[in-house]
Amino acid sequence: MENQKEHFPHILFYYFRKGKNAVQAHKKLRDVYGEDALKLRQCQNWFTKFRSRDFNVKDAPRSGRPIEIDDDKIKALIDSNRRLTTREIAENLNISKSSVENHSKRLGAYAKFSEVPLKINLTSNPFRTPNGRLPLLKAGLKTLDTVKDILPFFRGKHYNIDYVLTDKQCADVMAYDALLKEKLYPAIQFIWWIDKKNLEELVRPWYCKALPFPLNFYYPGRFERQAHSLMQSLYPLEDNINVIENEVYLKAQECLTLLSTKLGDDEFFYGQQPSAIDAIIYSYLAPLLKAPLPNPVLQNHLKACTNLAKYVSRISQRYFESEYQSYEKQRAEKTADKLRRNSESEFPNKRRNQILAAFVATLAMLGYALSTGIVKVSFVYPCKKILNVSPTKNIFILSNFYI
């Protein structure tokens, strides 16, 4: 029972973010855990705490660091098997997230927006960090490696981009964060690790090139297994991968359309300055828009939402100028190379044919000129004749003359 209690606040916080009230959340706990669930009064106390914008899920009388749990995975596990115990949930949740979620992109955007003076050291080896996680922030003696720790640290140092937001807007930030995790995150996992064309032609070669041996074999396989586990949790009764693909993409397209409608013609989601919601949304959309996906179904839908595409490009150009210019240069080079290869495939041996055509044309013009008398050829025969002979010195002086 004591082990279960430490996980109940996380589950209550998930239902709070889903818009449930304390009574509804208590009923769901009772349905799963029976008499072991929290009392209604305890649930109401937690909801009162959440409504006061205190989202720390560590119970006050307890000590120690709160356990970090992904809300989407809680939902997937509870929905797929309502008989699961909290111990089984905790064991299932002890898996690392795929790097596709791109915490580095989110933290980088937040740091750029709030002008945090960061010195960035690039690495592709997570094992060089204390806990095997990236990104990692070192500040003096502090070492932080999760978004939940790093962002409060930034705010504690007065690098806060949300100070102009109202309470409702701050609540919207959390709501959109939950929406993206629920609707868009599974689709991105599917694109990267389940779609066979993308996996074989882009993702695996990309990881094999970026990571050192043997990590370039370990991590792709690990992330692929996690993606399949996520799909099995979300769709436990569906075996047809095409049905799962259609469902996942449909939800993601609805999410992108909603974001496009919310953004409208504004530069950012809340006013003329970026906020935390822009860092979150940018971290999802930028990789999806920029990756050269061989199977770009969802990417094409994002490009069709022109205001979102411009939104990503605007942030990239304004806050990540060097990366943006490098990306545009690489894209231009790839486009030119693609056009060249397409031209060669349409006209094989094009250079050889051009040389042969020039040679034949030259011969044809020369033959025409000779046959019509435009060009005349005169032959000159050199002859040698002895002009002077010196018998005494036996020297011959030769002179040329022409006929």
pLDDT in tens, 351-392: 777 788 888 888 888 777 777 777 666 655 555 544 454 454
Closest CA to 70 of 14, 111, 150, 18: 14
**Mind giving me the DSSP string for 67-129?**
PP--HHHHHHHHHH-TT--HHHHHHHT-SPPPGGG-HHHHHHHHHHHHT--------S-GGGS
What is the C-alpha separation between 349 and 344, in angstroms, rounded?
7
In whole numbers, what is the pLDDT of the chain averaged over residues?
A: 77
| pLDDT tens digits, one per residue of 283-339 | 999 999 988 999 999 999 999 999 999 999 999 998 888 776 776 677 677 667 766
- Would you place residue 99 in the very low, low, confident or very high pLDDT band (cuts 50, 70, 90)? very low
Structure tokens at 146: 């999760």
What domains are there in the chain, each with its CATH number? 4-52 (1.10.10.1450), 92-157 (no CATH), 167-341 (1.20.1050.10)
| pTM for this prediction | 0.60
Residue 378: what pLDDT? 63
Structure tokens at 251: 């939800």
Strands 382-390 and 142-144: unpaired
C-alpha atoms less than 13 angstroms from C-alpha of 367 in its C-beta half-sphere: 6
Residue 93: what pLDDT? 41
- Would you place residue 222 in the very low, low, confident or very high pLDDT band (cuts 50, 70, 90)? confident
Is the model more confident about 382 or about 133? Answer: 133
- 15: number of Cβ within 10 Å: 23
Cis, bond preceding 212 (omega within 30 deg of 0): no
